[in-house]
């Protein structure tokens, strides 16, 4: 996304970021917590049983996205801009497949392979954006989708075909509590469209630059949370507490260091992007603080889910996301991109506080 920002004006980048957020939301909804449920239940599944579920979910993702892609293409006879919508659907499908295959690797305790998928996705997308510089939103989205496709192909051949697949519908019904939590969290991706609607495309672009620039930093808590989801359910309570706090320290510390580097480089980053992006320096610095809070929130959320409190996490995520988006909108109206980032911090701190209180009150 950083390279894409150098290709388009800041207002157009706001549109690109909004469509990218739409792709992430659609991808999360197609997953609906099924990937995380595979990780949580992996201790009770053989490799063949796991892959039977993976194949069913892969088919479900394709069945969901094909009609949407057809509608986007047919829409080209009615309105312009259909290319961007079609590219968004393709990006969503590619991300959904990559996320599922990444969950499979985590369920098999192949954590290095899971991390490699994400690195490969970003690296290939970066290479495509450099090799095929495009000033169009659709072109940039297709380059991002290419990264997910290549990363998924790298692992897809490892999926075994020795048992009949389990239907996606069955797995989605079983994953409803986890899915509600996942869907609630994915709605936070509406932040860029909300800032754009409340404060204009220019403010939306400034906010999007800070959000997308710092989003790769969260791969640390995402990777460590996958370890928690796989290992914590089998640990005694005391050892689980020690493991949680150790990973929390590593996660927040790693994020703080990486975000701190980006804070230091913020003026240079704005200069590289161009004069239109001079207003992104303060939002980047505010977002660095937000990343640390998000790292802690993700860790406690997965810890509670692995302890069996899926329903509680789902309810708190739903209420917390609603409050988060309201505070984001208020901050956007009051202070543009900077106010939106401040509102985002308040919303995430509130949700983190609820999760921490729940963990400490029942740790036994």
Q: Is the pLDDT of residue 245 over 60?
A: yes
Co-location of 189 and 338 in the same domain? yes
Do 80 and 195 belong to one domain? Answer: no
Instruction: Answer yes or no: is pLDDT of 85 > 80.
Output: yes
Residue 364 has pLDDT above 60, yes or no: no
What is the mean predicted confidence (pLDDT) over 149-166? 79
282/189 same-domain check: yes
Q: Residues 68, 97: one domain?
A: yes
213 pLDDT more than 80: no
- Of 173, 198, 219, which marks where a domain is finished? 173
108 neighbors 51 (Cβ within 8 angstroms): no
Spatial distance between the Cα atoms of 269 and 256, rounded to a whole number of angstroms: 18
Q: Which of 153, 173, 193 delimits the end of a domain?
A: 173
**Helical H runs in the chain?**
2-5, 10-31, 34-40, 47-74, 82-107, 111-131, 137-156, 168-174, 176-186, 191-199, 201-214, 219-231, 237-273, 281-306, 310-361
Q: How far apart are CA 42 and CA 5, in angstroms?
A: 40
Number of domains, the chain: 2
If asked whether residues 311 and 337 sit together in one domain, one would say: yes
- Asked if residue 347 and residue 240 are part of one domain, the reply reads yes
Tell me: do 150 and 210 sit in the same domain: no
Mean pLDDT of the chain: 81
Question: Counting every residue, how long is the chain?
Answer: 364
Lookup: tokens for 344: 């985002």
**Residues with Cβ < 8 Å from 329, sequence gap 6 or more?**
194, 198, 343
d(CA 28, CA 358): 25
pTM: 0.71
| Residues 350 and 243 occupy one common structural domain | yes
Q: Band of the pLDDT at 330, cuts 50, 70, 90?
A: very high
Asked whether residue 105 falls in the same domain as residue 1, the answer is: yes
Do 352 and 205 lie in one domain? The reply is yes
Q: State whether 145 and 161 are in the same domain.
A: yes
Could you tell me if 263 and 288 are in contact, meaning their C-beta atoms sit under 8 angstroms apart? yes
Q: Pick the last residue of a domain from 128, 144, 173.
A: 173
pLDDT value of position 279: 79
* Domain extent for 151: 1-31+34-173
Q: Are residues 45 and 149 in the same domain?
A: yes
């Amino acid at each position: 996304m950083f390279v894409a920002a150098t290709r388009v004006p800041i207002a157009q980048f706001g549109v690109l970021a909004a469509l990218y957020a739409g792709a992430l939301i659609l991808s999360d909804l197609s997953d609906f917590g099924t990937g995380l449920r595979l990780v949580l239940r992996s201790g009770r599944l053989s490799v063949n049983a796991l892959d039977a579920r993976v194949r069913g979910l892969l088919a479900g993702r394709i069945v969901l996205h094909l009609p949407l892609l057809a509608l986007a293409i047919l829409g080209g006879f009615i309105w312009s801009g259909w290319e961007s919508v079609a590219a968004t659907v393709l990006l969503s499908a590619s991300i959904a497949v990559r996320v599922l295959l990444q969950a499979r690797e985590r369920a098999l305790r192949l954590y290095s392979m899971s991390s490699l998928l994400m690195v490969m996705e970003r690296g290939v997308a970066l290479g495509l954006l450099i090799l095929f510089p495009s000033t169009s939103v659709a072109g940039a989205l297709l380059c991002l989708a290419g990264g997910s496709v290549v990363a998924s192909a790298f692992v897809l051949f490892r999926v075994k075909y020795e048992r009949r697949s389990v239907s996606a519908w069955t797995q989605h019904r079983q994953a409803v509590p986890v899915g509600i939590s996942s869907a609630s969290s994915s709605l936070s991706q509406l932040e860029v469209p909300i800032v754009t609607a409340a404060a204009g495309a220019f403010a939306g672009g400034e906010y999007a630059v800070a959000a997308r620039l710092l989003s790769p930093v969260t791969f640390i808590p995402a990777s460590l949370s996958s370890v928690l989801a796989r290992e914590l359910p089998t640990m005694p309570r005391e050892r689980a507490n020690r493991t949680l706090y150790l990973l929390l320290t590593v996660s927040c510390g790693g994020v703080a260091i990486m975000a701190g580097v980006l804070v230091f480089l913020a003026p240079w980053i704005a200069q590289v992007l161009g004069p239109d992006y001079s207003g992104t320096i303060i939002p980047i610095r505010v977002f660095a603080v937000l990343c640390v809070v998000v790292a802690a929130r993700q860790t406690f959320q997965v810890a509670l889910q692995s302890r069996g409190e899926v329903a509680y996490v789902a309810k708190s995520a739903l209420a917390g996301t609603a409050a988060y988006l309201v505070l984001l909108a208020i901050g956007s109206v009051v202070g543009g991109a900077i106010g939106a980032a401040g509102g985002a911090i308040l919303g995430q701190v509130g949700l983190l506080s609820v999760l921490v209180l729940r963990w400490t009150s029942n740790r036994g």
